[in-house]
Structure 1
Amino acid sequence: MPALLLPSRRLRRALLAALAAVALALFPAAQAWAAAPVPGGVPPRPPAPVAPDPSLQAHPLAAAPGPLDNPLKGFARFYWPGADQNTGYPHSLTWSYFGLSELMTDPADCSKYNWSILDSALNEIASYGNQAAVRFYLEYPGGSGSHPANAIPRCFDGHVTYRTNTYWGTTSPDYDSPYLLDALGDFIAAFGARYDGDPRIGFIHLGLIGLWGEWHTWPFDTDTSGDTHPNFMPTDAHAAQILQAYDNAFNRTKLEMRYPDSAAGAGTNRDIGYHDDSFCYKEGSPLAGVTLPRSLGGAGYAQLERALSHGAENKWITASMGGEVRPEIQSSAFASWPGGSGQVDNMKACIELEHTTWKINEQSQSYAAGDPNVAAAVRLMGYDLTVDNAYFKDTASGTTNVGVRIRNNGVAPFYYPWTVTLGLKNSAGTVVRTFDTSWDLRTVMPLKIRAFPDWGVGSDPTYLDYGHPQYFQAGVNLSGVPNGGYQWVLRVKNPLETVSSNAKKLRFANATQGADGWLGLGPVTVGSGGGQDTTAPTTPTGLTSPSRTASSVTLSWTAATDDVGVAGYRIHRGATQVGTSATTSFTETGLNPATSYTYTVRAYDAAGNTSAASAPVTVVTLPATSAGLVVDDFDGNPAYPSAARNDLGRWTGGNCFLNGGGSGAVPGGALSLRYDNCGWFGSDVYTDLSAYTHLVVRIKGAAGGEQAHFHLGLGGVTKAFGDFTLDGGGRPAITTAYKDIRLPMSANGINRASPGQLAMGFWYGGNSTVTIDSLTFE
């Protein structure tokens, strides 16, 4: 169903009545169409995690009801410009349509896009701390009141045949037109290049095809038997072309398509979820559900029946399930929770079998905040994470381990790789030290899943064991933390925090969860907890140099041990200490080419005890002619951006910058990018980098400190430039003078074998100019 953004209540009621009136004419044909189910069946259970470290003390945490406005789940409200978006029932998502003609505004050129209407909406939504879910359309019966009914871009005129859907009064373009397909493909590619991974967007519904962008043109659709209406839908091959374009363009932001059987099921093997626009509604005579399968009283065209027929009922494991609570039942959807009544189907079964994460529900604004039925449904939707135990030593110093065990009582995983951070709070409640971890919440699967009757594993409802309480552990270094009493805390970083200080925080269903987003794990005493520590750590072993360049040497070694804990390592070149490291690796830069250097390493603990020196290693830096792999040095060969090629001979370009016509400019052999909360630069790599260890960005800023203004993406990792880790544990800092910032790829999780595209996005706040002299792999 379309969201209710119609110009009047009278028209809204008329359209909804019309849909109900035509259902009986449509659905018998759909019943005849439906194929016999070929379900995917019971999904394999994920492997059990490792057990908690037995050397750590267990600290049980009390459970509590989860928050109702956790990000990226629950209900979505419509976007109304200028309106307070946080009224009504607690929520963290905002939904909006956009007509394609509102972005493709040049009547003579379909390759030009005006993103201002989308950016304006995304920025306003983000200012309330919410993420957006969006869809583009070409035809919208009656228009929305703020968006046009006919959103076919004028640049299609004379190139694309137009038809009239006489039932809805819309203009329907020829969706099989090569010109249209090329234009939509180019638009999707540009959309993805600009917004894939944008923290302001939570979910994207594919849209573009059919009424409201819902991938149907009823009654001018594929069901031509018994009526005189021609088929306005694209062929399966052309529909699959649109799916392919979206799948190519978006690798980070979650996509959703309308039907599991669209394009003859071509989406079942793509990273695209489903968007059920008529969620949990019953219609027809006798009433039949349009979400639940036929085995639970659903119609032959029901969403889950379609999924079963294509073996796609387990798509939720990796792809999100969104949609809209059918507008006719929004006000009463949870009154008979969990079983439903009248036109409301079994709501609990709908959520559990579809593994629903979020739904549009404009009438949620009228729900009472304390309604227990609504709260039960929202907590069941998507993820519902609880930390049941934390694991750490009650007294610790130096390097120590901290673990947590997390279980998921929801129906779906959390779908994004948000950073999980450990912290120490002092007695005043101030977080004095933080430690980012590599923990991936996406691996915390629901403990139980509801079986489809079609699986034949028991009568309904049958619940099967699926996920496990997932154990995570990280080593942290407490050196430099004054002795005393603290509390271990944990939080999950919402990337929207880089855009809006009001970003909703992901919180756990625990009694010790704070409003600030930090979850209390339990008290810890930092210090030896006894007499004076006089025992030195053991001597580090295995010192070697895994990589070198003409100007740098990287060292690694096997960790030392200590009765209390190793605090760090001191690195010596000859008799001179050249640095310290909290980890078992270190890189020294600024060295001379083709020169021999000898290194040793000593371990030290928090009490200052120092080990003997390791066995030495001698390293000869590479000759000066060994320059690494140059992505681009912007020396004019090839010319940027006119050649649209970098020094690798691959595509490069940019948009939305304030210089160089939007692409940035190259004065004096360096790329200058002037930005004001907008800008994107991309340079294809697509080369196996296994022989290289570092991405080297030679860069300066107009003011200094610009590392917080943009994100860099490479090899499956995208984050603020200043959040990358340097050798030795530091962070990048841009100054007003050129500086070679060396990012160790493996340490930052970058896939060197498949790096993909190097991309930089500048829509995260701030305005300045950065100048890049070169991008190189060494």
Structure 2
Amino acid sequence: MRFLRSLVPAVLVAAVLVAPHAAAAAPAGPPPRPAPPSAPGPSLTDHPLTAAPSPLDNPLKGFARFYFPGDNQNSGYPRSLAWSYFGLSEVMTSASNCGTYDWSIVDNALDEIASYGNQAAIRFYLEYPGGTGSHPGNAIPHCFDGHVTYRNNTYWGTVSPDYDSPYLLDAVTRFIAAFGARYDGDPRIGFINLGIVGLWGEWHTWPFDTDTADGYPNLMPTDADAAKIINAYDTAFNKTKLEIRYPDSAGGAANARDIGYHDDSFCYREGSPLAGVTLPQSLGGADYAQLQRALNQGVENKWTTDSMGGEVRPEIQSSAFTSWPGGSGQVDNMKACIELEHTTWKINQTSESYSPSDPNVAAAVRLMGYDFTATHAYFPNSATGSTTVGVTVANNGVAPFYYPWTVSLGLKDSSGNVVKTWDTSWDLRKVMPLKIRAFPDWNVGADPTYLDYGYPQYYQSAVDLAGVAGGSYQLVMKVKNPLEALSPAAKKLRFGNATQNADGWLGLGAFSVGSGGGGGDTTVPSAPTGLTAPSRTSNSVSLSWNASTDNVGVAGYRVLRGGTQVGTTSTTSYTDSGLAPSTAYTYSVKAYDAAGNTSAASSALTVTTSAGNTTPPGLVLDDFDGTPVYPGAALNDLGKWTGGNCFLNGGGNGVESGGALALQYNNCGWFGSDVNTDLSAYKYLVMRIRGASGGEQSHFHLSLGGTTKIFGDFVLDGGGHPAITTSYQDIKIPLTANGISRSAPGQLSMGFWYGGNSAISIDSLSFTT
């Protein structure tokens, strides 16, 4: 079979490969449960929705098969992903200039994959025993010749470049930057494996690895140089999901970054006696198994923010689901593998021959990644003018959906034509799995133990019915695949519901639009009274008012600033944010009912925001004043990338609040902000910070300019150390005295994996003399 090239790393390497482990940490334990969502307003009518099996080819999940030009990609078992390697020399084609790139081979593949409605998962490599299809085995660009030392991997017959070569690292990191500039956020790509390093780009060079006791020299890069490649990818890609082979690659350098993992020997058992190479030792796995490595690094919950890909071990692909949900022989417990790894997608070439009616395979595919069901829709049976629509979505899969695809509401007429649509701000990434399987290592119960985790997530949005002709309609909802803008065949994200249509629109229920309030309710709610502003900051105003009354019931309130609606709420309070300091704003509030009748405005209230803190002196990295907005703009005050993950607030990113960055954490969280600016003119890093309880200096490390320390271990002028209190203070960290490179500061980052459970607020980060 033509895909046998993929058997080489799986069959021969995994049996003997034990990648070097970084220093072990304790398992992270059960992840903190997300906060429960808000509930629908009592004035909205509940429309229960009927569940049904979800489609097998939902986007960005399930099985991927190899891309071959001219193949029918939609034959065989349903899928939405295609997998492809590319040799680096196929893009870096110039023999004399490493800074020019020919992307045509990539674009041709992506275009053909997209023409079938599928998205791609891809990887670049430098050395590949025997090559892959038409791609070369030796993919070292000729512009490296004479600049980079080449070594021979005599076991595999490959040429292995010196991965520690400064010339190679400079060329590769510039390539990655160009790769990201061209393809980050490209709707044709679902996942990117970091690649580049080692055989097949799998981050190993066995047997020429760190284990030199076998007589083979080490051809792998140092952890520090490998980390430069990881950092380059993390900097270049802020939208498209990245994956790396091992949690302990480069000493775990990817673990604090927005990078997932790909398990390329998924759910296989090997050796004598048989031991799993995915499941941990507590479930019969080897000490080098993928999930054991994750436990050793304390990153077994990385799936909450980053995708888990890989490949079903090729020699078990034909029998992988025969004994579902367990396993037999060399097939490990497949259900446990998917549940504990929180698998979203896997390469599985043999899936081409699976029967679409095989219940075992279907159960596995639906379990992988997300599996959404809309459980209830909430809206009035009839309305005019405007109204509110709410939907509750549950996730029965093992992982979240990792992309911010737009969710739209719409109306279909009696002929099935969509006559009106409204885009919402609903973020499906918040819909976490309802249950997660506990590792035995967590000591929370006998295996299998399932813990409550996510909630059915409730969303609601106001819809304006202006211009819609009176009559009977079907209210519908759709998730927009960005690939639809490029390919009419783009696979639709569909829900596990009986009313899910093939065109992507999910039926929510019958809905009538009419004049005169629809259905006879023409009574307008009373105007809200008692509008006050209990609190304000330099960039926000918190409002409250007395409830309105209505003959049927008040559905919600519209908040207006300067006569323009800025938000809606079903409660009698609202916080308006993103405002300018020392600025006067005038507010009013209107009530509306389920039929769309809207009250007169409340009395106007003028509120002036506080002055806030003055801009810190020196070079400002970020003063978190909402310009640029964090994390939406993904830029700091230097115009460089910034972001975070795994925090308990702000969708995991942390959130700007009161002119400061608020980071709430529970033994998990990472914040990064690129500096990449010569700081030779500055003496101090100044962090204006306070803690919720005080003492938070021991809860996180800070990295800058090649130095990483627990924050409380940095040395201050006079020999003291930082101590965070509940009041703001400027903590001035001397750069040179702490070994921080001023000429090459790189990225300022903070990691919260030290047993802490609290919150800090950072008013500003700056550099001063």
Cα displacement string for residues 564-597 of structure 1 (whole angstroms, at most 9, x for unaligned residues): 999999x9x9xxxxx998989xxxxxxxxxxxxx
- Are residue 165 (structure 1) and residue 169 (structure 2) matched? no
Whether 1:279 aligns to 2:260 is no
For 1:312, the equivalent position in structure 2 comes to 299
Amino acid in the other structure paired with 1:112 = T
CA distance in structure 2 between the aligned counterparts of 1:198 and 1:33, rounded to whole angstroms: 34
Equivalent pair of 2:523/2:550 in contact (CA under 8 Å): no
- 1:238 offset after TM fit, Å? 0.9
Answer yes or no: is the 8 Å Cα contact 2:193–2:244 preserved in 1.
yes
What is the letter of the counterpart of residue 272 of structure 2? S
Name the structure 2 match of 1:121: 109
Give the alignment's Cα RMSD to 1 decimal.
Answer: 4.2
Residue in structure 2 matched with residue 483 of structure 1 by the alignment? 470
1:183-222 pair list within 5 angstroms: 183-222=171-210
Secondary structure of the residue aligned to 1:220 is coil
Q: CA 1:368–1:536 in structure 2 vs 1: closer, same or farther (change >3 Å)?
A: closer
Instruction: Give yes or no for contact 1:687–1:753 (8 Å, CA) kept in 2.
Output: no
Q: Partners of 2:311 and 2:284 in 1: how far apart?
A: 20
Per the alignment, residue 548 of structure 1 pairs with: none
Separation in 1, partners of 2:127, 2:596: 72
Which of 340, 343, 346 is 2:333 aligned to?
Answer: 346
Q: String of CA shifts for 1:611-649, please: whole Å, max 9, x gaps.
A: 88998999xxxxxxxxxxxxxxxxxxxxxxxxxxxxxxx
Aligned to 1:366: 353
Residue 455 of structure 1 deviates from its aligned partner by 1.0
Q: How far apart, in 2, do the equivalents of 1:415 and 1:241 lie?
A: 25
Contact 1:540 1:557 in 2 (8 A): no
Check if 1:174 corresponds to 2:162.
yes
1:386 corresponds in structure 2 to 373
For 1:153, the equivalent position in structure 2 comes to 141
The 1:469/1:611 distance shift into structure 2, 3 A limit, reads closer
In structure 2, do the counterparts of structure 1 residues 686 and 72 end up closer, same or farther at CA, with 3 Å as the change threshold?
Answer: farther
Letter matched to residue 164 of structure 2: D
Say whether 1:471 aligns with 2:389.
no
Mapping 1:558-707, distance limit 5 Å: none
Match of 2:633 among 715, 738, 752: 715
The DSSP-based 3-state class of the residue aligned with 2:339 is helix
Counterpart amino acid of 2:255? T
Aligned to 1:355: 342
1:416 maps to amino acid: Y
Contact 1:138-1:152 at 8 Å conserved across structures: yes
For 2:215 and 2:6, the matched residues in 1 are separated by: 27
Q: How does 1:689-768 map to 2 (within 5 A)?
A: 715-716=633-634
SS of structure 2 residue aligned to 1:351 = helix
Q: Scaled by the length of structure 1, what TM-score is found?
A: 0.70
Q: Say if 1:716 and 1:750, in contact at 8 Å, map to a contact too.
A: no
CA shift in 2, pair 1:464/1:611, >3 Å: closer
CA contact under 8 A between 1:396 and 1:526: conserved in structure 2? yes
Aligned to 1:440: 427
Matches within 5 A, 1:63-462: 63-225=51-213, 227-462=214-449
Which residue matches 2:696? Answer: none
* Structure 1 residue 506, shift from structure 2 partner: 0.3
Are residues 181 and 561 of structure 1, via their aligned partners in 2, closer, same or farther at CA, if it must alter by over 3 Å? Answer: farther
SS at 1:273's partner residue?
A: strand
Change in CA separation of 1:284 and 1:417 when aligned onto 2, cut-off 3 Å? same
Distance 2:435 2:22 in 1: 29
Per the alignment, residue 579 of structure 2 pairs with: none
User: How far apart are the structure 2 equivalents of 1:345 and 1:616?
Assistant: 67
Distance in 1 between the 2:300 and 2:491 partners? 30
Partner of 1:766: none
**Structure 1 pair 209–162 and aligned structure 2 pair: CA distance change class (3 A):** same
Whole-angstrom CA distance in 1 between matches of 2:627 and 2:282: 56
Distance of 1:383 and 1:532 partners within structure 2: 41
Alpha carbons 2:408, 2:479 under 8 Å: kept:
yes
Aligned pair partner of 1:38 in 10, 15, 26: 26
Q: Which residue identity does 2:404 align to in structure 1?
A: P
Percent of aligned pairs sharing the same letter: 69
- 1:429 deviates by 1.3
Residue type of the partner of 2:31? Answer: P
Does the Cα contact within 8 Å between 2:22 and 2:251 map onto a contact in 1? Answer: no
Distance in structure 2 (CA, Å) of the matches to 1:64 and 1:415:
23
Query: Following the alignment from structure 2 to structure 1, what is the Cα–Cα distance between the partners of residues 673 and 112?
Result: 32
CA distance in 2, matches of 1:604, 1:270: 45
- The CA distance in 2 between the partners of 1:331 and 1:244, in whole Å, is 38
The structural deviation recorded for 1:426 is: 1.5
Distance across 2 between alignment mates of 1:219 and 1:469: 48
**Alpha-carbon distance between aligned partners in 1 of 2:386 and 2:129, rounded to the nearest angstrom:** 63
Q: Secondary structure at the match of 1:307?
A: helix
Q: Which moved more, 1:476-485 or 1:102-111?
A: 476-485
1:448, 1:464 within 8 Å by CA — same for their partners in 2?
yes
Q: Does the CA contact (< 8 Å) of 1:60 and 1:390 recur in 2?
A: yes
Contact 1:423 1:433 in 2 (8 A): yes
Q: Which ranges in structure 2 are unaligned for 5 or more consecutive residues?
A: 534-542, 569-585, 607-618, 636-654, 662-671, 675-769
Which residue is 1:677 aligned to?
A: none
**Contact 2:44-2:555 at 8 Å conserved across structures:** no
Superposition deviation, residue 93 in structure 1? 0.5
Residue 375 of structure 1 aligns to a residue whose secondary structure is: helix
Q: Counterparts of 2:503 and 2:403 in 1: how far apart (Å)?
A: 21
CA displacement 1:349-401 (0-9 Å, x = unmatched): 10000000000011110001111110000000000010111111112222211
More moved, 334-343 vs 378-387: 334-343
Are 1:398 and 1:606, in contact at CA under 8 Å, matched by a contact in 2? Answer: no
Q: Is the 8 A contact 1:568 1:581 kept in 2?
A: no
Post-superposition Cα deviations, 1:488-513, rounded to whole Å, max 9, x if no partner, equal 11110011111111110000000110
Partner of 1:324, secondary structure, is strand
Give aligned pairs, total. Answer: 612
Q: Structure 1 stretch 602-611 or stretch 166-175: which is displaced more?
A: 602-611
- Asked if structure 2 preserves the Cα contact closer than 8 Å seen for 1:34 and 1:301, the reply is no
Which residue type is aligned with residue 715 of structure 1? A
> Secondary structure at the residue paired with 2:187?
coil
Query: Could you tell me how far 1:252 is from its partner in structure 2?
Result: 0.8
How far, CA to CA, are the matches of 1:363 and 1:541 in structure 2?
Answer: 67
Q: 1:753 to 1:286 in 2, by over 3 A?
A: same
| Conserved 8 A contact 2:83-2:121 | yes
Q: Counterpart in 2 of 1:507?
A: 494
C-alpha separation in 2, matches of 1:453 and 1:689? 42
Match of 1:521 among 508, 515, 523: 508
Q: TM-score, normalised by structure 2?
A: 0.71
What is the CA-CA distance between 1:105 and the residue it aligns to?
0.9
Q: Contact between 2:14 and 2:265, CA under 8 Å: does it hold in 1? A: no
